Chains A and B, each alone.
Chain A
Amino acid sequence: MAGLLDDRQAGHRRSVIAMTDTRPRASFWQRFNRMDEGRFGYLLIAPTALLMLVFLALPIGYSILMSLNRIELTISPDWKFIGLNNFGGLLSDNQVNAAIPRTLFFAALNVVFTTVLALVLSIVLNEPFKGRRWVRVFILLPWAVAPVVSGVMWRYMFHQSYGLINAVLRALGLIDKYVVWFDDPSVALSVAAIASAWKALPFASLILLAAMQGIPESLYRAAKMDGASILHRFWYVTFPHLRPTVIFVVVLQIIASLQAFDLIFTLTRGGPGQGTVVLNYLTFINAFERLSLGSASALALALAGLIMVLSGISLSLTVRRTPKGQA
C-alpha cells in the first residue's frame, strides 16, 4: 500500500515538473546531433541495407524458392514443389555437362590473358618514362566501357566481311582472304576471352602496380649489390611480394569468367551452335528461351555456390602464402 502511494507521489512530482519546466523541448536536429555513434552508424548504413534487402536478399530468397519448384511457363504459370529435383536434374543435363568444360576453358584463357598482360603492363608502368602519367590514364579507358558496348565493338572488329582484324591481317599479307572468326567454337571462345581480358586489364594492372610500388627500394638495391640480373630481381624480389595480389587478381578473374554473360550475349549469342554457351549463358537460355524458371534458378544457385567455393579456396591459398606481415 505504501509502495503504491510512493508511486503516485512520484508520478505527481513528474507531472508538476513537466508543467513547470520551462526549458525548450529539444528540436529534431538537436536530438539528431546528440544521437550516439552506434545509432548514427545504423542510420548511415540503412539506405544501403534497404537497397541490398530489396535488390539482393529478396531476389536471392525468391530464387531459392523458385529452385525448389517446377515452373514451366510454356505450360502454365503454376508452381509445383519438387524439393531438390531441379538440382539433381543438373547432374544429368547434357547441356550443363557440355557447358562446364567451355566455361573452364573460357575462364582459364581469361585468367591467363588478364594476369600475364596486367603483370607486364604494371612492370612497364612502374618504370619511369616520359608521358607515364598520361599512359596510366589512357589504359583506364577500356575499364570505363560497358560490357555490352565492348561485346558489340569486338564483334565488329572480328566481323568476317568488314572487320578491322581481317582488314589489318590482309593488309599485312598474313591472310589472302577474309577469315570467318566466329564459326569455330574454340576461336570464338578465345576472342571472347581476349575481349574480356581487354576490359579487365586496366583494373588488374592498377592493383598490381599499386602492390609493386609498395615493395621497398632497399630490396632491389641489395639484390643489385649481390649481382642479381633484372630477371633475378623480378623472380626473387618482385614476384614473391606480388604473389598475394596476383592471386587476388586470379580470383577476381575466375569469378568474372564464371559470371560471363553480357559480353558473350553481344559477341556471339552463344554460337556457333552452342559453342560459346557457358554456364551463366545457359542459365539465361533455361530461363528465357525454355521458360523453365525452376531449373534456371537451380543452375544459377549452383553456379553461385561454385563461385563461392572457388573464391574460398583461392583466398585461403592467398592467406596461406602471404609473407608474414603482409596479409
Chain B
Amino acid sequence: MKVQKNLSRRKFLRLAGSGATLAAVSAACTPAATVAPTAAKPAATSAPAVIAKPFAGKELTVFAGNHHDTNVRDLWIPLFQEKTGAKVTYTSIGGGDADAKYAVFLASQDGSQDVMYSWETFTAKFGRGLFEDLSAFKPALLSQLNPTPVKALTFLGKLYGIPFDSNMAIFMWNSELYEKAGLDPNKPPENWTQFADYSKKLTKDGNFGTLFTLGDPNSSFFTFISIYNSTGGSLLSDDQKKIFVDTPEGLQAMEAFYNGVVKDKWIDPAGLTINSSIEQGKVFRGGKIGHYFAFPNHYTLAQDATQSQIVGKGRTGIIPGLKLRSASSNGFEGYSMNRFSKNKELAMAWLEFTVSPEVQKLVAMKWGRPPALAATFNDAEVKSSSPQFAAVSEQVKYPAARYGSPFYFDVGTAFNDHMNTLLKGNGTPKQACEKIQADAQKAIDAYWAKVGG
C-alpha cells in the first residue's frame, strides 16, 4: 500500500519521460551503423582512378520488381558501383504491387527513387506523370537497340523507358512427356490444330496438356492476345481509341481457347486462379504439363536442377499459330528515370549502363532473356550458351504486340471477367466477345473522355 502511494502517476510519468529521454540521448550518441565502403575509398585513390569513377561519393536509388533481384541487384549493381564509384541503394517489390507503389510516387511527387523498372503499360500509364521523357537519349546508342522494345516503351511519341531486353514468349515442351504420349520429342506442333491434338494426347494421369494464366486482368489479357495475335488481327487501333474483340479474329481466338478448356478439356482449368508466368513455369518444371507458351528465361530455369525436375528435357521452338504460322506476346522490360529525381545525371548513367555490351551479355547469359542490344543478340558466346535464343530469333518475325496502355487494367478486367464466366461453361464464345467488346470499349472511351475533359 505504501509502495502504491509513493509511486504516484506523476512520478511514473516523470520516470517514463526520463527513460525515454535517456534512450533518445543514447541513440543520438551511438555512432552511425555503417559507412558505405565506396565512400571511404576515393580518398585513397589516385587521380586517374577518380576520372574512371566519375560518380564517386554519389548515391543512386534503383527501384525494381523482385524478379530482378538475382540479376540486377546481385550482378549489375556491383558492376555499376565498381565502374562509377557511386553507391547504389536497391529496393524491389512484387511485380504485381509495383503499380500501387508508382501511384504513390506520382501522387506525392516523390523523387526518392532515381530509376525505376518499367514495361509497356507502365510507360503508357505513368509516362506523362512520373517518368522523364528520354526521347533525346543518346541517338547513336538508341539506334543499336532492337527497335521493337524501344517502340513498346514509347507512348504518344515520347520515349519513357530504355529497354534492356527483347523478351517475348516462345514455345517450350517437355521431350520426355512427348515421348510418353507417343509424340516425336523433336517435333513441336506447327499450328493450333496440331497443338490441340498434341495436348489431347498429353492430357492423362491427372495432368493436362498445357496451362495458360488467367488469374487476374493482366494474365487473362496476356493469354488472349498471345493467341489472338496469330489470327493476324490487330486488337487496338493505332491511336488506341478502338478495340476489336467482337470480330471474326476475336471469335476465332476465343473459340480456340474455349474448346481447349471447356469442350475438349486439355487446358488445365487451374489456370483460372494462376496470375503469374512464374507460377506457370513452376508447373512445367514440375513435369505436370507437356508444353506451354514460355518466356525464354524459363528455359534457363528448366536447366537448373535446384528449380527443375525436368533438367535436360526442355525444348524450345516457336508458338503454333491459329492463322499465321506463329505469334507471341512480348514481355519487354526496361528502366525509366523518375522525373522528380534530383540525381538525373547519375540516373542517365544507369540507363546507359543497362544497355552496355557488358550488361547485355549478363541479360542474355545469366538471366536467359534476349538482350535489347542487337550486337549482343548475335554474339557467338551468347548464342552457344543460350540455345533458346534460336527460337527467339525465329519468333521475332511474327507479331508480338502487348497493347500496353493507360487503360490496360480496365481492358484486362473486361477480359478477365467474361473469359472466366465463359470458361466456367456459362455462355458462348460469341457472347463473351460481345461483352468484352462492350465493356472494354466503354473503359477506353471513358479514359479518352477524361483526357479530353
Contacts and interface: CB of A to CB of B under 8 A. Distances in A.
Interface in B233-276: 269-270, 272-273, 275
B132 interface: no
A161 interface: yes
A216 B208 CA distance: 63
Contacts of A71: 107
A256 B417 CA distance: 27
Contact of B416 (A33, A75, A274, A287): A274
11 contacts: A72-B450, A73-B103, A74-B126, A77-B109, A161-B283, A180-B270, A271-B275, A272-B416, A273-B417, A274-B413, A284-B100
Shortest 10 CB-CB contacts between residues of A and residues of B? A288-B100, A273-B420, A273-B417, A183-B272, A74-B406, A182-B273, A289-B409, A288-B103, A272-B420, A160-B270
Interface string B295-335: 00000000000000000000000000000000000000000
Nearest to B452: A75
A244 interface: no
Contacts of B288: 161
A71 B99 CA distance: 17
Contacts, number: 93
Interface in B411-453: 413, 416-421, 424, 447, 450-451
Interface of A: 29, 32-33, 40, 44, 70-77, 160-161, 177, 180, 182-184, 269-275, 284-285, 287-291, 293
B285 interface: no
B180 interface: no
A207 to B, nearest CB: 29
A72 B269 CA distance: 37
A285 B275 CA distance: 17
Interface of B: 10, 13-14, 96, 99-100, 103-104, 106-107, 109, 125-126, 128-129, 206, 215-216, 269-270, 272-273, 275, 283, 288, 406, 409-410, 413, 416-421, 424, 447, 450-451
Interface centre among A77, A272, A288, A289 (most CB of B within 10 A): A272
Nearest to A296: B103
B108 to A, nearest CB: 10
Given A161-B270, A180-B270, 14 more contacts: A29-B14, A72-B450, A73-B107, A75-B129, A75-B450, A75-B451, A161-B288, A183-B270, A183-B272, A273-B417, A273-B419, A274-B416, A288-B99, A293-B107
Contacts of A40: 10
Given A272-B420, A275-B420, A74 B129 contact: yes
Give chain A's interface secondary structure class: loop
A271 B215 contact: yes
Given A73-B103, A160-B270, A269 B275 contact: yes
Nearest to B108: A77
A184 B424 CA distance: 8
B24 to A, nearest CB: 15
Contacts of A182: 272-273
A183 B129 contact: no
Interface centre among B106, B126, B206 (most CB of A within 10 A): B106
Contacts of B447: 74
Contacts of B269: 180, 183
A183 B215 CA distance: 9
A272 to B, nearest CB: 5
A289 B218 CA distance: 11
